[in-house]
Structure 1
Amino acid sequence: MAAEKLRDLSQPMDVALLDATVAAFYGTGSKEERTAADQILRDLQNNPDMWLQVVHILQNSKNLNTKFFALQNLVLFTSVVLEGVIKYRWNALPVEQRDGMKNYISEVIVQLSSNETSFREERLYVNKLNIILVQILKHEWPARWRSFIPDLVAAAKTSETICENCMAILKLETLLKFFPMPSYRNLTLQCLTEVGALNFGDFYNVQYVNMYNVFMVQLQTILPPTTNIPEAYAHGNSEEQAFIQNLALFFTSFFKFHIRVLESTQENISALLMGLEYLINISYVDETEVCLDYWNSFVLELFDAHNNLENPAVTANMMGLPMPLLPSVVDGIGAQLLQRRQLYAVPLSKLRMLMICRMAKPEEVLIVEDENGNIVRETMKDNDVLVQYKIMRETLIYLSHLDHEDTEKQENRFLVMVIRDLLNLCEMTKGKDNKAVIASNIMYVVGQYPRFLRAHWKFLKTVVNKLFEFMHETHPGVQDMACDTFLKIVQKCKRKFVIVQVGENEPFVSELLSGLATTVADLEPHQIHTFYESVGHMIQAESDVQKREEYLQRLMLLPNQKWSEIIAQARQSVDFLKDQDVIRTVLNILQTNTSVASALGTFFLSQISVIFLDMLNVYKMYSELISSSISSGGPFASKTSYVKLLRSVKRETLKLIETFLDKAEDQPQIGKQFVPPMMDPVLGDYARNVPDARESEVLSLFATIINKYKGAMIDDVPRIFEAIFQCTLEMITKNFEDYPEHRLKFFSLLRAIATHCFPALIRLSSQQLKLVMDSIIWAFRHTERNIAETGLNLLLEMLKNFQASEFCNQFYRTYFVTIEQEIFAVLTDTFHKPGFKLHVLVLQHLFCLVESGLLTEPLWDAATIPYPYPNNAMFVREYTIKLLGTSFPNMTAAEVTQFVDGLLESRNDLSTFKNHIRDFLVQSKEFSAQDNKDLYAEEAAAQRERERQRMLSIPGLIAPNEIQDEMVDS
C-alpha cells in the first residue's frame, strides 16, 4: 500500500512516507526493506511527472537525502529538456508554477548561503541548487529573466557568503557554455564591476580574485592582449564600445579594492600584470576618463609609500602594522616597497608614455582690450579639460619621482634635444601660421626650466636672442608670448645678465641696452611695458650702485627724452597737453615707469625724482579738465572717450607713486620726500572734485602710504581724514551699488589708520568717531563680500585697540550693545554667511571682554533700566537672551538661555565657541542643515593650505613660475 501510495503522483506526495523510504534505502532498515525502497525510488525517477513533486518535497522533507533525491529528479528533468526528449515541457507549464519554482530555489539558495554554518555544512546541496538555478535560467533568459545579473548583484551585496556563492554561479561551466559570448562577457563584467566595489574581508577577496582569474582567461579569448583597443573601439558597434567602457570600470573598481591580494601570490601576479596591460591600452580611448582617475590614485599610493621610505612609522601606519617597529620590521618594509616598485616597473613605464601622449591642454590665455582701452590677458577655461590636464600632469610628476631615468628627467639631455629639434623645425617650416605655432612651443618649453637655463649661459643667451627675434614677428600672439617668456626667464635668471660671462666683454644687460631701440621697435605699448619690466629686474640684480644707476639711465633714456619734450612744449602752451595723442603718449610713458618701478623698488628713486613734480602738475591740470568737463557736460561726460583718457593718466600717476612707495624699502626719508608734495595736488584735488571725478586710487595710495610708514603718518591723518572721509561717505552710503571701487578702498584706508595710526582716531571728536563707527557698521552690513570682510576686520582692529587704551570704558559704554546687536543681525542673516568666521571673532572678543573685569563702568543705561545689575556679564547675558528671544520667536526661552550660557562658558575656546554658534544657527532654522559650506569656510581654507603645503613638498607639483619666490642665482 505504501509503495502504491508513493507511485500515485496525481496528488501531493506523502513526504513523511518518502522520507522513510529514503531512510530505508540508505541502510536504516532490513535488506528486504532496502531492496523494496530501491525499487520504489527507481520507479519514481522513471516517472516523467516526478519533477512536479520536487518543490513540494523540498518544502516539507526533514531528510537531507530526500532533498538530494528530489533535486536529482529536477536535474534529470532539465537535462532531458536540453537533450530534446521533452523539449517543451518547461515552457508548457503554467506561469505560476514556473515562477514558483524559480523563486523558491532562489530563496533556498539565499537562505542557505546567508549563514556561514549552513553554507559550509550544506555546500553540496547549495551547489546542486546553483546548477538547477542555471538550468532554469537557460529557459527564462532573456525574455522572462532579464534581471538575472542585477538580482545576482543585489544578493551579493548582502553578505560575504552569499557573495562567494554568486561568484561560484558565475564560474559554472554550464553558464559559460549557455550564454552567447557577447552577452556572457557583458553580464559577467557588469556583475564583477558592481560586486568588485564591495569589501567583505580577506576571505572574500580571495574568492573574488579566483573569479577574476577565470574572467581573465575568458577575456584573452574574447579580446586578445595584442588587440589595438583604441582602433577596435573606434570601429566597433555600440555594444562593443559599451563592453570596453565596462571593462575599464571593472578593472579600475577591482584594482582599487583587491590589488594587494593579487600582489601577494606569485600565481596571481601574471593575471595582475595582464589586467594592467589591458587597462593601459583602454586608457588610450578618448571616452575612458575613469582610467585617468584610477591611474592618479594608483601612482599616488606608490609614490606615498616610496616617499615615506625614510619614515617607517608613516609607512607602517599605512600598512596597518603595530607600533613600535623592530629594526627587522623596518628593513622588511623597505624591501617590500622596493619589490613593489620593481613589480610595476614595466606598467609604470608604459603609463608614462600614456600620460605624455594623451596629455590634455592647459588653460588658454587670450590678449584682449578692456573697456578702458587697456590690453589685458583673459584666461579661457574649459573646466572639464582643465581638470583632466591637472590630473594627468600630477600623475606624470609622481611617475617622474618614482623613476627619474625612465622619465628622462635629465634636463640637459631633454631640453637640448627638444629645443634643438624645435629650432630646426622652425627653420624648415613654411608659412607664418606654422612658424608661429612652433615658436609658441619653443617659448613655452624654455619658460618651464629656469634652473637649467641658469646653469647653461650659452644656451640661455641663445634662447633670449631667439625671443628677441620673435618680438619682431607680427603674427598674432607671438610677440605677447615672447615678451611674457622673456619676463619669466629674467625673473628667475636675472643675476646671469649683469655679470661678465666667460668669453664676453660686457654683461648682457649692457649689450641689450645698446640695441634697445631696435629690439622694441615692432612691439605694441603693452608689450614694451613688459619688456621694460624685464630689464628692470636685470638692473635690480646689479649690486654696484654706480653701474645700476648707469643702466637705469640708459633704460629710461627714450621715455625720458619724450617726457622732456612734452613738458617743454607744455611750458610754451598748456593747451599742448590737451591733445589726445599727447595724452596717450603721457599715459604710455607713465605705464613704462610703473613697470620699471615694480621691478626696481627702492632703486627707482633717481628716476621717479626726475619726473615727480612735473607729473603732479600734469595730474592737477588733467584733474581740472575732467572736473570742468563733468560739471558742464553732466554725469554722461564721465563716459566720453576724452574724459576716460584723461582719467587713465590720473590713475596711472597714482599707480606709479603707489607702486614705487610700496616696493621701496622702508626708508622714512622717502616718505618725507614724496608725501608732502602730494597733499594738495592729490588729496586737495580729491576733496574739491565732483564725485564722478574722484579717483578711488587716491584712497588705495594713502592706505599704502600709512601701511608703509605707519606711526610716522599720525600727524597727517587729520588732513587725510578731512579730505576724504565725509565726501567719500556721501558717495557710498546712498545705496549699495554706486562707486564700488571707492567702497572697498575707503574701508581699507580706514583699517590702515586704525592699525597703524590709532592715536589719531582717539583725537577725533565724539561726532567724528560716531561717523567712523557708523561707517564700519554700514560696511559689514554690505552684501559685497570684500567690503563686508574689510569692515569686520576694521571693527576687530578698533575693538582691540580701544580695549588696550585709556578710553576703553568710554568707548564700550557707547558702542558695546550696538555692536553686539548689529553682529547678531548679520550673523543670523543668510546674506552674510561668508562673514561667519569674523562674526564669531567679534562675538568672542565681546564675551571675553565682558568677563575679563576690564570694563569697570556699567554698560547699561541707568536712565532706562531702573535696577542695577550685579555686573556687566549678567547684564550682557540677560540683554542677549532678550535680544535673541525677540528675534527668534520659534525658539523656546530655555533654548535661547541655553545658547547664551553656552557662549559665556565656551568663550575662551574658539573651536567650541564657533561650533556652539553653528548649532544655534541650524536650530534657529535660519540656516538649513545641508547648505552650510560658508560656516565651515575657515576649515576648508585650512585644508586647502595643508594641500598646498603638501604640493610644495613634492617638487614639480607646483610649477616654478607659480611659486612666489625670488630665485637668486649663484
Structure 2
Amino acid sequence: MAAEKLRDLSQPMDVALLDATVAAFYGTGSKEERTAADQILRDLQNNPDMWLQVVHILQNSKNLNTKFFALQVLEGVIKYRWNALPVEQRDGMKNYISEVIVQLSSNETSFREERLYVNKLNIILVQILKHEWPARWRSFIPDLVAAAKTSETICENCMAILKLETLLKFFPMPSYRNLTLQCLTEVGALNFGDFYNVQYVNMYNVFMVQLQTILPPTTNIPEAYAHGNSEEQAFIQNLALFFTSFFKFHIRVLESTQENISALLMGLEYLINISYVDETEVCLDYWNSFVLELFDAHNNLENPAVTANMMGLPMPLLPSVVDGIGAQLLQRRQLYAVPLSKLRMLMICRMAKPEEVLIVEDENGNIVRETMKDNDVLVQYKIMRETLIYLSHLDHEDTEKQENRFLVMVIRDLLNLCEMTKGKDNKAVIASNIMYVVGQYPRFLRAHWKFLKTVVNKLFEFMHETHPGVQDMACDTFLKIVQKCKRKFVIVQVGENEPFVSELLSGLATTVADLEPHQIHTFYESVGHMIQAESDVQKREEYLQRLMLLPNQKWSEIIAQARQSVDFLKDQDVIRTVLNILQTNTSVASALGTFFLSQISVIFLDMLNVYKMYSELISSSISSGGPFASKTSYVKLLRSVKRETLKLIETFLDKAEDQPQIGKQFVPPMMDPVLGDYARNVPDARESEVLSLFATIINKYKGAMIDDVPRIFEAIFQCTLEMITKNFEDYPEHRLKFFSLLRAIATHCFPALIRLSSQQLKLVMDSIIWAFRHTERNIAETGLNLLLEMLKNFQASEFCNQFYRTYFVTIEQEIFAVLTDTFHKPGFKLHVLVLQHLFCLVESGLLTEPLWDAATIPYPYPNNAMFVREYTIKLLGTSFPNMTAAEVTQFVDGLLESRNDLSTFKNHIRDFLVQSKEFSAQDNKDLYAEEAAAQRERERQRMLSIPGLIAPNEIQDEMVDS
C-alpha cells in the first residue's frame, strides 16, 4: 500500500514515507525490505514526472540521503531533458537551487553541518549552467561575485564553485574564460581574514594548472596580444588584473609554504611577460608596490622593530625573533631573485620617455625654456624609474649600475655611433642622448678629469651644430655640469699646463661664434660659476675681465657713440645690442654674486643714464600715442632694456653678500633715475621691477634702509595704489610686487611705518585688506603675510592699544568674510593664524583700553574678551541665518577656548565651515593644504634618504671637489 502511495505522483508526495523508504534502503533491516525499497526508488527515478517533486522533497525532508536521491533525479533531468522543459520550469528550478545554496552558505553553522549537501547543490548548479550559459544566464559571473561580497562563508562557497572541475572545463571558451577571470579577480581582492587565505590559495593553485593548458608559459604574450582579437586581448588584460589583485592580498600565504611557491613563481613569470604589453599599466603600479615592500624590508634590516611592525609582529621582540626576521627577509630576497632580475630587464626595455623641454618665444620676444607638464607618459616614467632604483638597491651587481662601467660603455658607444651615423637628424638624436646621460652623473665626472674634459669639449662641438635643439641642449648640459664640477675647471689638472677655465677664455670668441644670444647668456653663466669657484682674488678678477672683454668692448663703443650723439641710442639694432649686453651681465652676476662687484661698477652709472633716457622716450611715446603706444615693438624693446637694467641690479644685490658698503655705493645713485622716474612716469610706463628691486634692497639691508623708507614711500605708494585699486585685473605684476615691498618694509623697517600719519597708515591698512580680498592667490597670500607682520609688530610696540582700537574689529570682520568665501579657500592657513592672533591677544591682557566705541555702545563690557565674544556671535549670526544661535555661540566659545592650541583651533574652524554649508564635506582639500604640504615634504625627505630617487643634478648641494 505504501509503495503504491509513493508511486502516485499526481499529488504532493508523502515525504515522511519517502524518508522511511530511503532509510530502509540504507538501513540494517532484512534483505527483503532493502530489495523492496530499492525497487520503489528505481521506479520513482524512472518516472518522468518525478522531478516535479524535487523541490517539495528538498523543502520537507529531514533525511540527507533523501535529499541526495531527489538531487540525483534532478541531475538526470538536467542531463537529458533540460532543454525540452518549459522556460518557467527551468527558471523556477534554477532560481530555487541558487537560493538554497545562498541560504545554507550564508550561515556559518548550516554551512559547516551541511557541507556535503551544499557541495552537491553546487554540482547541480554547474550542471544547469552548462545548458543556460551564455544565452539564458549571462549574468552568472556577476551574480556570483555579488553574492561572494555579502559574507565570508558565501565567498568561500563561491570559490568552491569556481574550483569545480566541471566548471573549469569552460575555460577554453574565450568569453566565459574572461568572465571567470573577472570573478577570480574580484573575489581574490576580498580580504575576509587569514583563515580564508587558504581557500584563496587552493583556488589559485587549481587556476594555475588550468591556465598552463590554456596559455602555455612559453607563449610570447606581447605577440599574442598584438595579433589577438578583442576578446583575447581582454583575457590578457583581465589576467593582469587577476594576478595583481590576488598577489596584493595573498602573496604572503603563497610564499609561506613550499608546495605553493612554484605556482607563485609561475604567476610572477606570467605577470612579467604580460607587463611587456603596452596596455597593461596596472602591472607597473603593482611592480612598484611589490618592489617597494621588498626594499623597505631590506632597508630596515638594521631596525628589526620597524620590520616587525610591517609584518604585524608583537613588541617587544626577543633576540631569537630578531634573528628569525633577518633570516626570513634574506629568504624572501633569494626567493624572488630570478623574477627581480627579469623585472630589471623589463623596466630597462620598457622605460618611458622622461620629461621634455621646449624652446619657445614668449610675448616679449625672449627665448625661454618650457617644461612639458605631467602627462600619462611622464607619470609612467616616474613610476618605472622609481621601481628600477629600488631594484638597484636590492641587488647592485645584477643591476650593473656601477657608474664607471655603465657610463664609460654607454658614452663610448654613443660617441662611436655619432661618428658612424650619417644625416643631421640622426646625429642630433645621438648628440641629445650623449648630453642627457652625461648630465645625470656629476659625481662620476668629478672623479674622472679626462673624461670630464672630453665631455665638455664634445659639448663645445655640439654648440656649432645648427640642427634645432642641439645648441640649446649643449648649453644647458654645460651649465648643469659646471654647477656640479666647477672646482675642477679652476685648478691645474695632472698633465695640463693651465686651468681649463683659462684655456676656455682664450678660445671664447670661437666657441660662442655660432650661438644665439640666449644661448650665449647660458654659456656666460656657466663660466661665471667656474670663476666663482676660484679662491685667489687676483686670478678671479683676471678671469672675469677676460670673460667680459667682448661685451665690455661693445658697451664702451656704444657709450662713446652716444656721447657724440644721443640719438645713436635710439636705433633699434643698438637697443637690441644694449639689451643683449645687459642680459649677459645678469647671467654672470647670478653666478658670481659679490665677486661681480668690479664688473658692475664699470657699467653702473652709464647704465643708469641709458635707463633714464629710455624711460623718457617711453613716456613721451605713450603720452603722444596713447595706451596703444605701449604695445608697439619699439616701446616694448625700450622697456625690455629698462627691465633688464633693474633685473641686473636686483640680481647682483640679491646674490651679493650682506656688505653695507655695497648698499651705500649702489642705492643712493638709483634714487632719482629709478625711484624718481617711477613717480614721474605715466602709469603705463612704470616698471613693476622697481617695486621688486626695492623690496630686495630692504630685505637685504634691513634696518639700514629705515631713513630711506619715507622717500621710497613717497615715490611709490600713492601712485601705485591708484593703479591697482581701480579693479582686480589691471597691472597684475605691480600688485604682487607692491605688497611684497610693503611686507619688506613692515618686517625690517617697522619704525618707519609708525612715523606715518594716521591718514597714511589707514591707506596702508586699506591696501592690505584690499590685497587679501584679492582672488589672485599670490596677492592674497602676500597681503595676509603682510597683515600678520603688522599685527605682531604693533602688538610689541607702544602703539598697541591705539592701533587695535582702530583696526581690531575691521580686521576680524574682513578675515571672517574671506574665510567663509570659497574663492579664498587657499588662504585658509593664514586666515586661521590671523584669527588665532586676534583671539589670543584679546585674552592676553595687553589691550588695556576698550575695543568698543563708547559713543555707539550704550553699556560697557567687563572686558575686551566679552566684547569680542558678543561681537563675533552677532557678526556670524547675521552672516549665517541657516545656523541656530546655539550653534554660533558654541563655535565662538570654542574659538576662545582653543586659541592656544593651533591644531584644535584650526579643526574647530574647519568643522564650522562645513557645518555652515559654505564648504561641502567633500570639496575641502584647500582646508587641509598645510597638512598636504607637510606630507609632500615628508615624502621628499624619504626620497632624499634613498640614493637615486632624486637625480644628483636636482639636489642643490654645494659640493666642494677634493
TM surpasses 0.5: yes
**SS in structure 1 opposite 2:77?**
coil
The answer (yes or no) to whether the contact 1:700–1:748 under 8 Å persists in 2 is yes
The answer (yes or no) to whether the contact 1:563–1:586 under 8 Å persists in 2 is yes
Q: Mark the CA change 1:919 to 1:431 in structure 2 (over 3 Å): closer, same or farther.
A: same
Aligned to 1:52: 52
Give 1:175 deviation, angstroms: 2.3
Give 1:47 deviation, angstroms: 2.6
Give 1:962 deviation, angstroms: 1.8
Q: Deviations over 1:607-659 (max 9, x none)?
A: 11111111111111111111111111111111111111111011000000000
Give 1:182 deviation, angstroms: 2.8
Give 1:968 deviation, angstroms: 2.0
Give 1:543 deviation, angstroms: 0.5
The answer (yes or no) to whether the contact 1:858–1:871 under 8 Å persists in 2 is yes
Give 1:38 deviation, angstroms: 3.5
Give 1:228 deviation, angstroms: 0.9
Q: Mark the CA change 1:177 to 1:600 in structure 2 (over 3 Å): closer, same or farther.
A: closer
**SS in structure 2 opposite 1:323?**
coil
Give 1:372 deviation, angstroms: 0.7
Structure 1 unaligned spans of 5+: 73-80
Q: Deviations over 1:883-941 (max 9, x none)?
A: 11111111111111111111111111111111111111111111222111111111111
The answer (yes or no) to whether the contact 2:836–2:899 under 8 Å persists in 1 is yes
Mean Cα displacement is larger for which, 211-220 or 112-121? 112-121
Q: Mark the CA change 1:862 to 1:964 in structure 2 (over 3 Å): closer, same or farther.
A: same
Q: Does 1:256 align with 2:236?
A: no
Give 1:110 deviation, angstroms: 1.6
Give 1:84 deviation, angstroms: 10
Give 1:188 deviation, angstroms: 2.5
Q: Deviations over 1:705-725 (max 9, x none)?
A: 000000010010001000000
The answer (yes or no) to whether the contact 2:243–2:271 under 8 Å persists in 1 is yes
**SS in structure 2 opposite 1:86?**
helix
Distance 1:186 1:886 in 2: 61
Distance 1:27 1:353 in 2: 68
Mean Cα displacement is larger for which, 349-358 or 852-861? 349-358
Mean Cα displacement is larger for which, 847-856 or 234-243? 234-243
Q: Deviations over 1:793-846 (max 9, x none)?
A: 000000000000010000000000110011111111111111111111101000
Q: Does 1:587 align with 2:579?
A: yes
Give 1:371 deviation, angstroms: 1.1
Give 1:162 deviation, angstroms: 1.9
Give 1:455 deviation, angstroms: 0.1
Give 1:140 deviation, angstroms: 1.3
The answer (yes or no) to whether the contact 2:75–2:124 under 8 Å persists in 1 is no
Give 1:197 deviation, angstroms: 0.7
Distance 2:619 2:168 in 1: 89
Q: Mark the CA change 1:237 to 1:342 in structure 2 (over 3 Å): closer, same or farther.
A: same
Distance 1:175 1:544 in 2: 84
Give 1:82 deviation, angstroms: 12
Q: Deviations over 1:576-609 (max 9, x none)?
A: 1111111111111100000000000000011111
**SS in structure 2 opposite 1:240?**
helix
Note the 1:155-174 alignment, pairs <5 A: 155-174=147-166
The answer (yes or no) to whether the contact 1:789–1:838 under 8 Å persists in 2 is yes
**SS in structure 1 opposite 2:396?**
coil
The answer (yes or no) to whether the contact 1:492–1:967 under 8 Å persists in 2 is yes
Distance 1:367 1:252 in 2: 41
Give 1:83 deviation, angstroms: 12
Give 1:177 deviation, angstroms: 3.6
Q: Mark the CA change 1:92 to 1:65 in structure 2 (over 3 Å): closer, same or farther.
A: same
Q: Deviations over 1:373-427 (max 9, x none)?
A: 1100122336111111111111111111111111111111100000000000000
The answer (yes or no) to whether the contact 1:486–1:534 under 8 Å persists in 2 is yes
Distance 1:855 1:120 in 2: 76
**SS in structure 2 opposite 1:300?**
helix
Aligned to 1:203: 195
Give 1:23 deviation, angstroms: 3.1
Aligned to 2:282: 290
Q: Deviations over 1:457-512 (max 9, x none)?
A: 00000000000000011111100000000000000000000000001110000000
The answer (yes or no) to whether the contact 1:703–1:748 under 8 Å persists in 2 is yes
Distance 1:665 1:546 in 2: 19
Q: Mark the CA change 1:256 to 1:613 in structure 2 (over 3 Å): closer, same or farther.
A: same
Give 1:28 deviation, angstroms: 7.3
Give 1:307 deviation, angstroms: 0.8
The answer (yes or no) to whether the contact 1:176–1:184 under 8 Å persists in 2 is no
Give 1:142 deviation, angstroms: 1.5
The answer (yes or no) to whether the contact 2:582–2:648 under 8 Å persists in 1 is yes
Note the 1:656-735 alignment, pairs <5 A: 656-735=648-727
1:428 to 420, 428, 432: 420
Give 1:239 deviation, angstroms: 1.2
Give 1:33 deviation, angstroms: 4.7
Distance 1:131 1:862 in 2: 90
1:139 to 123, 131, 140: 131
Note the 1:511-910 alignment, pairs <5 A: 511-910=503-902
The answer (yes or no) to whether the contact 2:171–2:214 under 8 Å persists in 1 is no
Give 1:26 deviation, angstroms: 3.7
Give 1:965 deviation, angstroms: 2.1
Q: Mark the CA change 1:333 to 1:178 in structure 2 (over 3 Å): closer, same or farther.
A: closer
Q: Deviations over 1:523-554 (max 9, x none)?
A: 11100000000000000000011110110011
Distance 1:198 1:82 in 2: 34
The answer (yes or no) to whether the contact 2:794–2:803 under 8 Å persists in 1 is yes
Distance 2:764 2:905 in 1: 29
Give 1:29 deviation, angstroms: 6.2
Distance 2:164 2:692 in 1: 78
The answer (yes or no) to whether the contact 2:78–2:128 under 8 Å persists in 1 is no
The answer (yes or no) to whether the contact 2:650–2:696 under 8 Å persists in 1 is yes
TM-score in terms of structure 2 length: 0.98
Identity of aligned residues (%): 100
Q: Mark the CA change 1:90 to 1:589 in structure 2 (over 3 Å): closer, same or farther.
A: same
The answer (yes or no) to whether the contact 1:23–1:29 under 8 Å persists in 2 is no
Q: Mark the CA change 1:565 to 1:922 in structure 2 (over 3 Å): closer, same or farther.
A: same
Q: Mark the CA change 1:598 to 1:148 in structure 2 (over 3 Å): closer, same or farther.
A: same
Distance 1:657 1:83 in 2: 94
**SS in structure 1 opposite 2:370?**
strand
**SS in structure 2 opposite 1:678?**
helix
Q: Mark the CA change 1:85 to 1:862 in structure 2 (over 3 Å): closer, same or farther.
A: closer
Q: Mark the CA change 1:773 to 1:179 in structure 2 (over 3 Å): closer, same or farther.
A: closer
Give 1:207 deviation, angstroms: 1.3
The answer (yes or no) to whether the contact 2:79–2:127 under 8 Å persists in 1 is no
The answer (yes or no) to whether the contact 2:414–2:434 under 8 Å persists in 1 is yes
Give 1:46 deviation, angstroms: 3.1
The answer (yes or no) to whether the contact 1:542–1:548 under 8 Å persists in 2 is yes
The answer (yes or no) to whether the contact 1:696–1:742 under 8 Å persists in 2 is yes
Aligned length: 962
Distance 1:85 1:595 in 2: 91
**SS in structure 2 opposite 1:366?**
strand
The answer (yes or no) to whether the contact 2:618–2:635 under 8 Å persists in 1 is yes
Mean Cα displacement is larger for which, 528-537 or 400-409? 400-409
Q: Mark the CA change 1:307 to 1:179 in structure 2 (over 3 Å): closer, same or farther.
A: closer
Give 1:22 deviation, angstroms: 2.6
Give 1:85 deviation, angstroms: 9.9
**SS in structure 2 opposite 1:368?**
strand
Give 1:88 deviation, angstroms: 5.9
Q: Deviations over 1:714-771 (max 9, x none)?
A: 0100010000000000000011110000000000000000000000000111111011
Q: Deviations over 1:552-579 (max 9, x none)?
A: 0110111111111111111111111111
The answer (yes or no) to whether the contact 1:27–1:34 under 8 Å persists in 2 is yes
The answer (yes or no) to whether the contact 2:148–2:158 under 8 Å persists in 1 is yes
Q: Deviations over 1:113-151 (max 9, x none)?
A: 222222222221112111111111122112111111111
The answer (yes or no) to whether the contact 2:702–2:748 under 8 Å persists in 1 is yes
**SS in structure 1 opposite 2:27?**
helix
**SS in structure 2 opposite 1:178?**
coil
Structure 2 unaligned spans of 5+: none
TM-score in terms of structure 1 length: 0.97
Give 1:63 deviation, angstroms: 2.2
Q: Mark the CA change 1:838 to 1:179 in structure 2 (over 3 Å): closer, same or farther.
A: closer
Q: Mark the CA change 1:253 to 1:7 in structure 2 (over 3 Å): closer, same or farther.
A: same
Distance 1:724 1:416 in 2: 58
The answer (yes or no) to whether the contact 2:643–2:687 under 8 Å persists in 1 is yes
Q: Does 1:950 align with 2:942?
A: yes
